[in-house]
A and B are shown apart, each in its own frame.
Chain A
Amino acid sequence: MHPTTPTTPAPVRPHERTGPTPPPKAARPRTTGPRRWAPLGFLLPFGALFLLTFVAPICYALHQSLFKLHRSGLGLTPPTTVFTGLSNYTEALADRAFTSAVLRVLLIGAVQVPLMLGLALVLALLLDGRRTPGKRFFRLAFFLPYAVPGVIGGLMWSFLYQPDVSPIARALAGIGLHVDFTSDGALPWAVGNMLTWGWTGYNMIVIHSALKAIPGEYAEAAELDGCTGWRLAWHIKIPMVRPALVMSTVFSIIGMAQLYNEPVIMRAVAPNLSGDWTPIMAAQNEVAANNYQAAAARSVLLALVIFVLSFGFMRFVNKRGAAQ
């Protein structure tokens, strides 16, 4: 049965409440009917499409990942699917190309995410400074790359990296530095730079908005005590924008898993970039080989890794936050 009757007020958390506590309501059984079904009506359109486009594909991938195509020796009869338990998973874990793709992305993320968020935080703090000139211009300038679609940014950078036409390489060659942005060793940095370029401004805006939401009295009180500049930032401001930093980190971790557009576009200028450079690319390779089951197992594995990482990070910082 429905737990809510008009006499029990909705269990809102205290901070969600606006205004004074509502007075106890009189029982009005007439309104029970429509109110009981209203949430269902509101949720139905989203819910139905959510089931179709999120839940169903995940279930389908989980299901597929437990089967294998069994082809007869000559390939004259159509292949049959056979239940094989977790063997797709064990094979994926034993697949050097796949595991090194996961590892590669994790390593790029381990360098790029802290760099990007550190830069975003510094820029946000500088923009928050009272005497910083040209705030509007700088904020817009930093944010502009976010408005450039990732693929278009990728196209731009691929021109800027392309060995024979790169204006950057040419300028560097002019001062005696010969760099190849598409060499094996440079590729992770080149891709990491594309991500940093595209997302620093976005994260900067998120952190900056959080800084603006800090009540002015906090900073004032600290400044009266002689706490200014970087000490003010470190002791007062950064702890107060923690939720925004956590959110940015989680979204960056999730974003890393999806790394696809930038390296795929880079392949046009860096033929040495392998077709299974990132996990999604590796999964797509399996699809191209008509091995959907293996692709599904790889997708599920990657989703699991990312879910554990992002969720684990959230739990970790929340626990530490509660302990402080």
Chain B
Amino acid sequence: MKDATKGPRRAANPAGRIGVLAVLVLAALYSLLPVWWLVVSATKGSSDLFTGNGFWFAGRIELVRNVSDLLGVQDGIYGRWLLNSLLYAVGGALVATLLSAMAGYALAKYAFRGREAVFNTVLGAVLLPAPLFALPLYLMFSATHVVNTFWAVFIPSVVSPFGVYLSRIYAAAAVPDELLEAGRIDGAGEFRIFRSVALRILQPSLVTVGLFQFVTIWTNYLLPSLMLADNRLQPVTVGLVAWKEQRGQTVPYNLIITGALLSVVPIVLMFLLLQRYWKAGLTSGSVK
């Protein structure tokens, strides 16, 4: 770590260090305790769930049974929801990243009339909360019978103004004009240059764009809950909330909690796998 060797050493101040550690530990407890509760609760049967210490395991560990019960409930609808979420989020994030990269690259690397106007419109969209216009979008989609199909959720998910904004910053900073010129002199087409030069250079930062969009889609609730009436099309967030709203009458609370835990696993895995990239990406995004 660069921090360990750099600069003059400050005299150790034990009281200060303990204070720092105390703040960090308290904040870590605040962050982790609810997640810990979720993990612990997912191992409990319905009779143990709300008796005894909520933050510690009950006598029996029922996690496996909870998971198999969860996957069996209502003809395995939960697995279907999880699959839907993956489909919306992975597919949507991939397409959104590609579209954002193309648009951001064009805005960074070509001078054309109206470029700033286009960029400012996109920036304006970043500053507008999209959920506010989910209702009119629903009305439009319902007039064209897109509502209650896969596309009703997928199409809005692939549009990411924030992704375009980030892609433009990345492309402006990282893709040298000289390289593009060299490609042109070699006779490569514009799209070929984008594909084989720009995309390759932008790859690490595009992971950030993709990750942002993946999280946005995976966590979206308002859009799918508006657009989808068929519960076999719903993502896991909408399904779980519907179960919770029935107050444990159709599906017991311990299964809902197990379902919540399972739904967090893919997204945590994604972050851990792509950690190296998203850290680099966040840096270039914030120092604009």
A residues touching B (Cβ–Cβ < 8 Å)?
Answer: 2-4, 8-12, 16-19, 22, 25, 31, 34-36, 38-43, 45-47, 49-50, 52-54, 56-58, 60-61, 64, 119, 122-123, 126-135, 137-138, 141-160, 164-168, 170-171, 197, 200-201, 205-207, 209-210, 212-213, 216, 219-220, 223-224, 228-229, 243-244, 247, 250, 254-255, 257-258, 260-261, 264-265, 268, 280, 283-284, 287, 292, 295-296, 299, 302-303, 306-307, 310-311
Contact = CB atoms under 8 A, between A and B. Distances in A.
Contact of A212 (B127, B240, B256, B283): B283
Top 4 nearest A-B pairs (CB, nearest first) are A167-B54, A42-B106, A149-B219, A38-B190
Given A12-B177, A18-B173, A39-B107, 8 more contacts: A3-B111, A41-B191, A57-B133, A137-B28, A156-B38, A167-B54, A212-B283, A287-B135
A244 B284 CA distance: 10
Given A60-B139, A210-B287, A156 B37 contact: yes
B83 to A, nearest CB: 16
B221 A151 contact: yes
B61 interface: no
A123 B24 contact: yes
A43 B103 contact: yes
26 contacts: A2-B112, A4-B112, A10-B177, A31-B184, A38-B191, A43-B102, A43-B106, A46-B164, A50-B122, A54-B161, A60-B136, A61-B133, A127-B24, A130-B3, A132-B24, A148-B264, A149-B218, A151-B221, A160-B34, A166-B54, A168-B54, A229-B16, A243-B286, A284-B135, A296-B136, A307-B127
Nearest to B17: A131
A38 B219 CA distance: 35
A145 B132 contact: no
B105 A42 contact: yes
Contacts of B181: 22, 25
B10 interface: yes
Most buried by A among B20, B107, B158: B20
A42 B103 CA distance: 6
B159 A60 contact: no
A213 B279 CA distance: 11
B31 A201 contact: yes
Interface string B42-62: 000000011001110000000
A138 B244 contact: no
B38 A303 contact: no
A46 B27 contact: no
A294 to B, nearest CB: 11
B145 interface: no
Contacts of B4: 130
Contacts of A4: 110-112
B229 interface: no
Contacts of A16: 108, 172-173
B45 to A, nearest CB: 15
Nearest to A127: B24
Contact of A50 (B159, B173, B240): B159
A2 B176 CA distance: 23
B207 to A, nearest CB: 15
Contacts of B109: 10
B222 interface: yes
A58 B111 CA distance: 28
A16 B155 CA distance: 33
Nearest to B3: A130
Given A43-B106, A205-B282, A156 B137 contact: no
Contacts of B156: 53
Interface in B98-132: 99-100, 102-103, 105-113, 115, 118, 122, 124-125, 127-132
Given A43-B103, A56-B140, A152-B260, A133 B21 contact: yes
B93 to A, nearest CB: 14
A147 B287 contact: no
B16 to A, nearest CB: 8
A130 B191 CA distance: 46
Contacts of B12: 131
B263 interface: yes
Contacts of A205: 279, 282
Contacts of B7: 130, 216, 219-220, 223
Contacts of B21: 133
Nearest to A60: B136
A49 B10 contact: no
Contacts of B131: 258, 260, 280
Contacts of B1: 135
A287 B226 CA distance: 11
Contacts of B178: 19, 22
Nearest to A52: B155
Contacts of A25: 181
B159 A49 contact: yes
A40 B215 CA distance: 29
Interface in B163-187: 164, 172-174, 176-178, 181, 184
A163 to B, nearest CB: 11
B103 A47 contact: yes
Nearest to B2: A216
A17 B244 CA distance: 54
A25 to B, nearest CB: 7
A306 B128 CA distance: 7
A226 to B, nearest CB: 10
A228 B107 CA distance: 43
B9 to A, nearest CB: 9
Contacts of A170: 54
